C-alpha cells in the first residue's frame, strides 16, 4: 500500500501493524532466496534474449540445468519468467538446421559422429557415425535428416560443412546452400545443450571398447530421444 502512494500511517493502520514494525521490515537486508531469485531472473532473461524470445520455461530450464549447471525447479523458472513478463513464442520448425561433428574416444580409436538438429524445435533430425572423411559422414547425416523431414522444400543447413559433397547433397535434396558457420549464440546453445544431455545420459557412463560398441549405443540412444 505504501508503495502505491498511500500514507504509511494509513497503510499500517489498515493492515493492523505498527509503524515501527513496518520500518523494521523495510530495513532488513534481502533474504538469500530473494537474492538468488534476482540472480536467476537476470540469467533467465539473458537466455530468453539469446533465443530471440522463443524459449519457454521448459527450454530455459534445460539451458539452466544442462548448460549452466544450475539446480532449479521447472516451477521456479515459470514463476520468475511470469514475474519478469517473459514468454516464449514457438519457433518455426524446418526453417533452419544446424550441424555439428564430434570425435568420440574408444579403445579402438576415435569415432566421428555428425548430428543435424532443428534449430527451433531442438529436435534431432539425423545423425551418422563413421571413420570415413567428415564430409561423407556429414552428407549421410543430412540424407537421414531429409528422410525424417515433414516439410519440403527444406530448411537451410548451417554448420561446419561446406565441402562439395555436402553442398551437392543439400542441393539435391532441395535445401538452401549451407552458410558454413553456426549462425549465432542461440545455435551454439542448441548444440551445446544437446551434447551436454548426451554426455550426462550416455557417453560419460562408461568406457567404450570399440567403435561398433559406441555406434550401437548411440543409435539406440538417438532413436530413443527421437521417439
Arithmetic mean of pLDDT, 149-178: 48
Arithmetic mean of pLDDT, 214-225: 92
CA angle (126, 128, 130) in 5-degree steps: 175
Which own/partner pairs from 16-19 qualify as long-range (CB within 8 Å, at least 24 positions apart)?
none
State the pLDDT confidence band at 23, using cuts at 50, 70 and 90: low
Model confidence at 208: pLDDT above 60 = yes
Beta bridge partners of 128: 114
Q: Distances from the Cα of 124 to the Cαs of 97, 117, 212, in angstroms?
A: 10, 5, 21
The SS3 assignment for 109 reads: strand
Place of cell 498511500: 6
User: Is-contact 175 155, C-beta < 8 A?
Assistant: yes
Round to whole Å and give the CA distance between 136 and 168: 11
Model confidence at 157: pLDDT above 90 = no
pLDDT digits (tens, 9 = 90+) for 117-154: 887 777 898 999 998 778 888 888 888 888 876 544 34
CA angle (120, 121, 124) in 5-degree steps: 115
pLDDT at 163: 44
Comparing 74 with 160, which gets the higher pLDDT? 74
pLDDT at 89: 63
Q: What is the pTM assigned to this prediction?
A: 0.53
Amino acid at each position: 500500500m505504501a508503495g502505491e502512494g498511500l500514507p504509511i500511517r494509513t497503510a499500517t493502520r489498515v493492515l493492523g501493524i505498527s509503524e515501527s514494525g513496518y520500518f523494521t521490515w523495510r530495513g532488513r537486508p534481502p533474504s538469500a532466496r530473494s537474492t538468488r531469485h534476482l540472480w536467476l531472473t537476470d540469467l533467465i532473461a539473458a537466455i530468453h534474449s539469446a533465443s530471440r524470445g522463443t524459449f519457454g520455461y521448459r527450454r530455459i530450464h534445460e539451458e539452466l540445468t544442462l548448460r549452466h549447471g544450475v539446480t532449479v525447479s521447472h516451477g521456479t523458472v515459470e514463476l520468475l519468467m511470469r514475474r519478469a513478463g517473459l514468454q516464449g513464442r514457438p519457433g518455426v520448425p524446418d526453417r533452419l538446421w544446424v550441424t555439428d561433428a564430434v570425435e568420440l574416444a574408444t579403445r579402438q580409436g576415435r569415432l566421428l559422429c555428425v548430428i543435424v538438429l532443428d534449430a527451433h524445435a531442438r529436435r534431432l533430425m539425423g545423425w551418422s557415425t563413421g571413420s570415413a572423411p567428415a564430409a561423407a559422414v556429414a552428407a549421410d547425416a543430412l540424407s537421414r535428416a531429409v528422410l525424417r523431414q515433414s516439410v519440403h522444400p527444406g530448411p537451410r543447413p548451417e554448420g561446419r560443412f561446406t565441402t562439395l559433397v555436402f553442398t551437392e547433397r543439400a542441393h539435391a535434396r532441395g535445401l538452401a546452400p549451407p552458410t558454413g558457420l553456426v549462425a549465432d549464440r542461440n545455435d551454439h546453445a542448441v548444440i551445446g545443450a544437446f551434447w551436454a544431455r548426451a554426455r550426462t545420459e550416455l557417453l560419460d557412463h562408461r568406457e567404450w571398447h570399440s567403435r561398433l560398441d559406441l555406434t550401437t549405443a548411440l543409435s539406440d540412444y538417438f532413436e530413443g530421444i527421437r521417439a
